[in-house]
Structure 1
Amino acid sequence: MAPTRYSAVAIALHWVIALCILSMIPMGLWMTAAIEQPDSQALAYRVFQIHKSIGFLILALTVMRIVWRLTHRPPALPGGMKRWEGFAANATHVAFYALMLALPLTGWLYVSAGWAVALDRALELATSWFGLFPIPHLPGVAELSESVRRTLAFQAMGAHAAMAWGAVVLIVLHIGAALKHQFFDHDGVLAHMVPFLKPSEGHASETAAKTAPASPWVERGAGLALIAVVAMAGAVAARPEPKPSLEMSSTAPAATAPASVSTGAETAPEIAAEPVAEAAPAETAVKAGVWTINRAASSIAFGGTQSGAAFKGRFEEWEGRIRFDPQDLAGSKAVITVQTSSARTGDATQDGSLQGAEWFDPGQYPTARFETTGFRALGGDRYEARGTLRIKGARLGVVLPFTFREADGVATVAGRLQLDRTALDLGMESDATGDWVSKMIDVQIKVSARRAG
C-alpha cells in the first residue's frame, strides 16, 4: 500500500530547497542591476558570493532528494484526479527536478568562464562555499580563449536567467495547484508535504493509478523538454554582440610597460639619478650590523578597495636578510622574499582569486622579492631604501621610505609605499582600468629585529 504522505527526509529536503530557491530569485534580480552601480557594487559582490553558495547547496540537496525519491515510494495521487491533471502534476515535478539541477550547473559554468556579463568584461573570481572551503571551476573552461569564454558566459547566463523565470512560473502553478487541491478538491494532496495537515481518507493507490498516463516516460520527457526549450531560448537570446576593438583593448594589458618595469630578467630598471649611498663591495658590507627578524612582531600588509569597499590583507610567509647601520649606509643591504601563496585577506573568495593566474599565480611564480640597491638618510630617524621589486615576470624600481629606531639592541622599522598593480601585471585581464579593484595598492612594512652582529 502506498504511503499517505512523504517521508520526513523528503519533506525536510523539499522545504529547505524551496526556501533556498525563493531566496535566490529576488537576490539574483537585485544583484544583476546593482553590480553595474558604483554605490552598490560592494554589497552586490557580497550578495553574489552568498548566491553562489546557496546555489551549490541547492545542487547538493537536489542530488540527495533525487536519490531519496528513487529509493522511497511517494504517496499516491487522489483517485478523482483527471488524467491530464495527473500528467501535468508528474511533468511539473520532473521539470522542477531538472531546474534544480540545471540552474546551479549553468551558474557554475558562468562563474567558471570568468566573464562578467553585466559589465561585459573579463572578471576572474574564485568561489568558496560560505567562506568555509573553495569550490573549483569546471575543468577545462579557464583554458579556453577569451572570445570563447565570453560567448560561453553570455549563453550560460542567458539560459540561467530564462530558467529562473521558468522556475517562477512553475512555482506559481505549483502553489496554485496545491491550494486548489486543499480548498476546492479537498483531496488531501497538500497534506502529503505539510506535516501538520491531516491526510485525506479513502484515495487508494489503485484508484489513483487510473489517472496516471500510460507511460511515465511521457510525462518525464515533457518536463525535461520544457526545461530544455526554456534553456535553449535563453541561450540563443543571450548571444553576445561582437565587441568593438577599442572596448576589447580597454581590458587588456597595456602593450607598453611603464618605464620602471622590465619584463625581462636580464635588464635592470631605470632609476632616477639622485644622491644615493650605493652598495659597497662585499668586504665593506660586512661592517653593517646583521639583524635577526622577530617574525611574531613583524608584518607585511597590503590594502586597497574592491567595488568601493576597503580591504586589507597580509602575507603570512616571508623571510628577510638584513644588514643595516645608520653609520654605514653604503655597507647596508636588505633582501625580502615573500611566498605569494600566503596572501590572506580574511575573505575566502578574494584569497582564492589572488591565487589565480592573472593575480599572483603562485604555481608559476611562487615568490616575490625585494632587494635594495642603496639607502639614503632623510634626517632624524627617517630613511629611504631604493631597490628592485620582482613580482611574476615584472621588475619594478621602487623607493621605500621608512623609520628606524633602536633601543637595547632591538630595532623597530616601519615603512609604507603605494604600488601600481597594473605595472606588476596583477589583475590585468579582469580589471586593467581599476574600475573593480583599485590600481594603487597600499603596502605597509613593520619589522622588529634584534642586532645579531
Structure 2
Amino acid sequence: MNAAHRYSAVAITLHWVIAVCILSMIPMGWWMTAAIEQPDSQALAYRVFQIHKSIGFLILALTVVRIAWRLTHRGPALPPGMKRWEAFAAHTTHVAFYTLMLALPLTGWLYVSAGWAVSQDRALEVATSWFGLFPIPHLPGVAELAAGVKRALAFQAMGAHAAMAWGAVVLVALHVGAALKHQFVDRDGVLAHMVPFLKPGLKAGHEPAFSAPSSPWVERGVGVALIAVVAVAGAVAARPYAMPGLEMTRTEAPAPVSAPASGPVSAEAPVTPGTAAGWTIDSAASSIAFGGTHAGAAFKGRFERWEGQVWFDPADLAGSKAVITVQTASARTGDPTQEGSLQGAEWFDPSRYPTARFETTGFRALGGDRYEATGRLRIKTTTVPVVLPFTFRETGGVAAVDGRLELDRTALDMGMESDATGDWVSKMIGVQIKVSARRAG
C-alpha cells in the first residue's frame, strides 16, 4: 500500500495528536478533581488543571481544523463488502467523536467562565492562559451574570462535561475494538488508512477503492508543522515557574477604615510636599515586591510601574513625608494564570481602579538606622492604616531604604468573593519595598 491509499498526512497528524490529547485528558481530569481537595496535592492539581484547560483548547482548535480538512479532502473509501450496519456504525461513531471533541472543550470553557467551583460550591475566579503563552478570555457575557445564574451554569456545565467524558471512554473503546477487528479479523486494511507504515494485510480479492489525496508534499509539510507546534506547546507547559518566597517582618493586620464603594475612584489627590529634604528615586535600582502562597505553593511578584515622592530627614521626622503610587495592572508573578486573575474585579480590577496609593502620616525613630512609618494604604476604594518598619542608610548622598511588612488582603477587600477564608491564596501577603534615591537638587 502506498501513501495514496491512506488518509492525507495532515489528516493522520490531526487524528493522532487529538487522540493523544484525549487519552491524556481523561485520567488527568479524574485525578485532579480528587487531588484538588487534598492539601498535599493542591499545588500540583492546580498546575495540572491549567494544563488540562490548555489541552482542551488545543483539542477544540484542532477539531475545527480537522472538520474543515475533512470537508475539503476526501478520505479513503470503506472496504467493499462491509456490512451495512458496520458502515452505519462507523459513520455514527465518527459523528459522535466530532460532537464530543467540540462539546467537551466548550462545556469546560463554560464552566471556567462561570467562575464557580462545583466541588466546593463557592465562587472561584481563575483566569486561563494557553500553555502560559497568551490569555484566553472567558465566554462573553457569562461573567456579568448574577451569582445564582453562574452557579447553576457551572453545575450544569460540569455535569455535562463529566457525562461526556464517560461517553468519550466508551467511544474510544468501541473505536479501538473496531480498528483491531478490521486489522486482525477482517484483514481489510482499514487500520492502515490511519497508521503510517502499517501493511494492509488484505484478504484475497479485497482491493479497496481509495481516493488519492491532493498535494501530498504540502500535506506532509503541514503535518510536520502541526507536530512541531504541539511539541513546543508541551515544552512550554512543562517549564517550571521560578517563584521564590519572601522573608517578611509580620505586623498586626489593620482593620479597614472605609468600606468598598461601587464606582471607580477619582483622580489622585495632589501631594502636599514635606518640609524635610527631598529625594529623587532611582527606579532602576528600586522595587516593590509581594509574595504569599497559592494552592499551597509559594509565589513571588512585583509591580513593574510605580512612582514615589519622598521627603525625609532623620533630623526632621516631623517634616518627612512619602507618597507611593502603584499601577496595579503592572503586577507580575511569572504565572500568566495568576496575573490574569489579579486583573479581575475581586482583586485589583485595574480597569476601574488603576492605582493603589500609600501616603505616610508620620515617622518614628527606632534606634540606629531603623525607623517606622505610619500611613494609609488605599487599594480600590478600601483604605487601611499601615505601619511600615524600614531601614535608612545614606552614603555619599545616596540613600538605601529597605522596608517589609505583611498585609491582610481580606481587610483590603481582595479575593473576598472566591477565597475569603484563604484556602487558595494566603490571607497574609508580604510586601517588600526597596528604594535607592539621591538627594534632590
TM > 0.5: yes
Question: C-alpha separation between the residues in 2 aligned to 1:12 and 1:98?
Answer: 19
Residue 417 of structure 1 pairs with residue 405 of structure 2:
yes
Query: Offset of 1:131 from its aligned partner?
Result: 0.4
The residue that corresponds to 2:106 in the other structure is 105
Question: C-alpha separation between the residues in 1 aligned to 2:297 and 2:117?
Answer: 19
Query: Offset of 1:282 from its aligned partner?
Result: 7.0
Residue 433 of structure 1 pairs with residue 421 of structure 2:
yes
Q: Mind listing any 5+ residue stretches in structure 2 that lack a counterpart? A: 211-252, 262-270
Report the secondary structure of 2:358's partner residue: strand
Query: Offset of 1:404 from its aligned partner?
Result: 0.3
Q: Aligned in 2, Cα 1:308/1:69: closer, same or farther, shift over 3 Å?
A: same
The residue that corresponds to 1:331 in the other structure is 319
Query: Offset of 1:120 from its aligned partner?
Result: 1.3
The residue that corresponds to 1:359 in the other structure is 347
Partner residue of 1:390 out of 375, 378, 401: 378
Question: C-alpha separation between the residues in 1 aligned to 2:404 and 2:310?
Answer: 18
Report the secondary structure of 1:57's partner residue: helix
1:73-112 alignment to 2 at 5 Å?
73-112=74-113
8 A Cα contact 1:35 1:118, kept in partner: no
Question: C-alpha separation between the residues in 2 aligned to 1:264 and 1:61?
Answer: 44
Query: Offset of 1:3 from its aligned partner?
Result: 5.7
What amino acid sits opposite 2:146 in the alignment? S
TM-score (norm 1): 0.83
Query: Offset of 1:121 from its aligned partner?
Result: 1.1
The residue that corresponds to 1:13 in the other structure is 14
CA deviation digits over 1:305-344, x for unaligned, max 9?
1111111100000000000000000111100000000000
Question: C-alpha separation between the residues in 2 aligned to 1:264 and 1:12?
Answer: 53
8 A Cα contact 2:278 2:311, kept in partner: yes
The residue that corresponds to 1:377 in the other structure is 365
8 A Cα contact 1:261 1:423, kept in partner: no
8 A Cα contact 2:114 2:154, kept in partner: yes
1:178-193 alignment to 2 at 5 Å?
178-193=179-194
Question: C-alpha separation between the residues in 2 aligned to 1:176 and 1:447?
Answer: 67
What amino acid sits opposite 2:277 in the alignment? G
CA deviation digits over 1:152-210, x for unaligned, max 9?
0011011001001100000011000000000000100000001111344744449xxxx
Partner residue of 2:259 out of 245, 257, 263: 263
Q: Aligned in 2, Cα 1:293/1:282: closer, same or farther, shift over 3 Å?
A: closer
The residue that corresponds to 1:149 in the other structure is 150
CA deviation digits over 1:114-156, x for unaligned, max 9?
0111121110000000000000000000011111111100110
Q: What is the aligned length?
A: 385
8 A Cα contact 1:10 1:68, kept in partner: yes
Partner residue of 2:393 out of 405, 414, 418: 405
What amino acid sits opposite 1:159 in the alignment? A
CA deviation digits over 1:353-404, x for unaligned, max 9?
0000010000000000000001010110000101000001100011000000
The residue that corresponds to 2:279 in the other structure is 291
8 A Cα contact 1:368 1:390, kept in partner: yes
Query: Offset of 1:38 from its aligned partner?
Result: 1.0
Query: Offset of 1:259 from its aligned partner?
Result: 4.1
Report the secondary structure of 1:397's partner residue: strand
What amino acid sits opposite 2:280 in the alignment? T
The residue that corresponds to 1:253 in the other structure is none
TM-score (norm 2): 0.85
Question: C-alpha separation between the residues in 2 aligned to 1:332 and 1:77?
Answer: 85
Q: Aligned in 2, Cα 1:123/1:263: closer, same or farther, shift over 3 Å?
A: same
Q: Mind listing any 5+ residue stretches in structure 1 that lack a counterpart? A: 207-256, 266-280
The residue that corresponds to 1:304 in the other structure is 292
8 A Cα contact 2:342 2:348, kept in partner: yes
The residue that corresponds to 2:27 in the other structure is 26
Report the secondary structure of 1:447's partner residue: strand
Question: C-alpha separation between the residues in 2 aligned to 1:410 and 1:258?
Answer: 33
What amino acid sits opposite 2:416 in the alignment? M
The residue that corresponds to 1:59 in the other structure is 60
Q: Which segment drifts farther, 397-406 or 76-85?
A: 76-85
What amino acid sits opposite 2:298 in the alignment? A
8 A Cα contact 2:260 2:413, kept in partner: no
What amino acid sits opposite 2:257 in the alignment? V
Question: C-alpha separation between the residues in 2 aligned to 1:4 and 1:260?
Answer: 73
